[in-house]
Homo-oligomer: A and B are copies of this chain.
Amino acid sequence: MDVGFLRKTFGDRFVEDSSIAALYVHDASFVEGESNVFGVVFPETEGEVVELVRWAIKHKVPLFPQGSATSLSGNAAATARGLVVSFERMTKVEIDPGDGVAVVGPGVRIEELNVELARYGFFFPVDPGSMRSATIGGAIANGAGGMRGAKYGTVKDWVLGLRVVTGRGDVLKVGCKTFKCRNGYDLVRLFVGSEGTLGLITEAVLKLAPVPESAVAVLAYYDDVEPLVEDVVRVRASRIWPLFAEFLDAPTAAVVGLEERDTLFLGVDVNTGAEERVLKRLQSIVRGRVASVAVGWSEAMKLLEPRRRLYSAQVHLAQRGGGVLVIEDVAVPISKLPDAVRGLKKLAEKYGVPLLLGGHVGDGNLHPATWFRKEEGPGKAEKFIREMAELVVGLGGTVSAEHGVGTLKKDLIALELGDAVLTYMRELKKVFDPYNILNPGKIA
């Protein structure tokens, strides 16, 4: 193996030390990475990325791109002896408030970008629970969503253009710098959510949203999930488009320090001056179940804080239980949420595992969490995930709402899509990465 090229090109940005490299071979899921990698490189320019891909083609070395490796389906894990490519050094940020766009490097963290944008009254609306560390490149390649998704959608709605290096070493400039374009096939959104398997993102043009004037939010307690979901539907039917509609089931609410009851966090962005009326409206829909309210954009975001604490609470519990944490990600049509919740609870009983249920209920998206004892190995968890997938597909849902396919869902998307679609996906992969050097073993 000619690592001379890596040493020459990247200098001390090529880390060969196997104990350091071992930190980079897995992501936030329980998928164990291949620890015997050649090392980690930290490119700083697109030119370096092109050279790297050409070298990888020549030597048939798999490349495993990474932002902050916060993925939850093994998307960012090394699956073979290869090289981890970390984009954390590509952190350019150019904001153009007049045009309402930002041009950024893939390594910029979402939260850091938002700190910059706040000065101009703009924000990047996609807010995965991991946004303090998650990078723009990782969020794009993962097609990430978040709590504000009920109103603002996912990353695919906020990327205008990309620069990408394909697995053939070509640099593609796709999309545009304007708010819309129709210049042929939508390659931008083909790269969004492709998990690094079609190309390496070296730059992104993002669309920015003006920070809403104001917002209101309520936190409400329920004794059952059915009326909770009905209330969310009634909010939308009353011509109010929620900004967020987050759910925690009773045990989960207790874990983050709330009452042990099914909990709804419901937020709406409003005009200044309209707070009181919309709040009354929400209160009348949620009928006497309101435990606390928030007025103003920052206050509404603060009301979500317990919800944002969920992950660390889960990690803590799983560790205390000596277990391997599994955070799942499924969605069903909103009306099917009560069925999904009941089904998931039954499933957890069957497997004899704990179950914490939270999710973006405005999107029909649940993130069931559980943990398995380490000595049980990953097999039991994988079986559990498959049964979960069968359950939600049976309800007209999806096996992955936002976390993506990675290695964990690779065999499960067929349940939902059928085999023909997978054949086409494999052929697309071949167009962009005929040598299978880009994040092999994921998606297709």
Q: Please name 11 further chain A to chain B contacts, defined as beta carbons within 8 Å, in addition to the given A176-B416, A177-B396, A272-B274, sorted by A numbering.
A: A99-B333, A121-B238, A166-B424, A170-B420, A174-B421, A176-B331, A178-B332, A185-B428, A210-B241, A270-B274, A271-B274
Interface presence of A62 (CB below 8 A): no
Are B100 and A334 in touch, CB under 8 angstroms? yes
Please name all residues of chain B whose beta carbon is closer than 8 Å to the beta carbon of A425 when the two chains form the complex.
Answer: 184-185, 187
Are B239 and A213 in touch, CB under 8 angstroms? yes
CA distance A211 to B170 in the complex (A): 45
Are A189 and B273 in touch, CB under 8 angstroms? no
Please name all residues of chain B whose beta carbon is closer than 8 Å to the beta carbon of A101 when the two chains form the complex.
Answer: 333
Given A213-B240, A428-B185: A178 touches B96 (CB 8 Å cut-off) = no
Residues in A156-204 with C-beta less than 8 Å from chain B: 156-157, 166, 170-174, 176-187, 189-190, 192-194, 198
Interface presence of A291 (CB below 8 A): no
Most chain B CB within a 10 A radius of its CB, from A145, A170, A417 = A417
Please name all residues of chain B whose beta carbon is closer than 8 Å to the beta carbon of A157 when the two chains form the complex.
Answer: 153, 157
Interface presence of A398 (CB below 8 A): yes
Please name all residues of chain B whose beta carbon is closer than 8 Å to the beta carbon of A288 when the two chains form the complex.
Answer: none
CA distance A166 to B236 in the complex (A): 36
Q: Which of B166, B210, B278 contacts A240 (CB 8 A)?
A: B210
Distance to closest chain B CB from A250 (angstroms): 24
Are B399 and A178 in touch, CB under 8 angstroms? no
Distance to closest chain B CB from A204 (angstroms): 16
CA distance A193 to B182 in the complex (A): 7
Residues in A357-373 with C-beta less than 8 Å from chain B: 362-365
CA distance A364 to B180 in the complex (A): 9
Which stretch of A12-20, A217-225, A402-410 is in the interface?
A: A402-410
Are B421 and A432 in touch, CB under 8 angstroms? no
Most chain B CB within a 10 A radius of its CB, from A120, A213, A399, A443 = A213
Q: Which of B120, B174, B416 contacts A183 (CB 8 A)?
A: B416
Q: Which of B120, B166, B428 contacts A431 (CB 8 A)?
A: B428
Please name all residues of chain B whose beta carbon is closer than 8 Å to the beta carbon of A143 when the two chains form the complex.
Answer: 182, 186
Interface presence of A418 (CB below 8 A): yes
Interface presence of A284 (CB below 8 A): no
A-B contact pairs, 8 of them (CB 8 A): A97-B237, A170-B424, A178-B396, A181-B331, A181-B400, A182-B403, A182-B405, A183-B398
Please name all residues of chain B whose beta carbon is closer than 8 Å to the beta carbon of A120 when the two chains form the complex.
Answer: 237
Are A417 and B183 in touch, CB under 8 angstroms? yes
- Interface flags, A77-92, vs B, CB<8A=1, else 0: 0000000000000000
Considering only CB atoms, which chain B residue lies closest to A240 in the complex?
A: B210
Please name all residues of chain B whose beta carbon is closer than 8 Å to the beta carbon of A238 when the two chains form the complex.
Answer: 121, 210
Are B398 and A178 in touch, CB under 8 angstroms? yes
Are A180 and B363 in touch, CB under 8 angstroms? yes
Considering only CB atoms, which chain B residue lies closest to A188 in the complex?
A: B189
Are A237 and B184 in touch, CB under 8 angstroms? no
User: Shortest 3 CB-CB distances between A and B: which pairs?
Assistant: A271-B274, A181-B398, A189-B189
CA distance A271 to B238 in the complex (A): 12
CA distance A145 to B182 in the complex (A): 10
Please name all residues of chain B whose beta carbon is closer than 8 Å to the beta carbon of A416 when the two chains form the complex.
Answer: 176, 183
Interface presence of A154 (CB below 8 A): yes
Distance to closest chain B CB from A358 (angstroms): 16
Are A180 and B154 in touch, CB under 8 angstroms? yes
Most chain B CB within a 10 A radius of its CB, from A99, A211, A332 = A99
Are B271 and A174 in touch, CB under 8 angstroms? no
Interface presence of A397 (CB below 8 A): yes
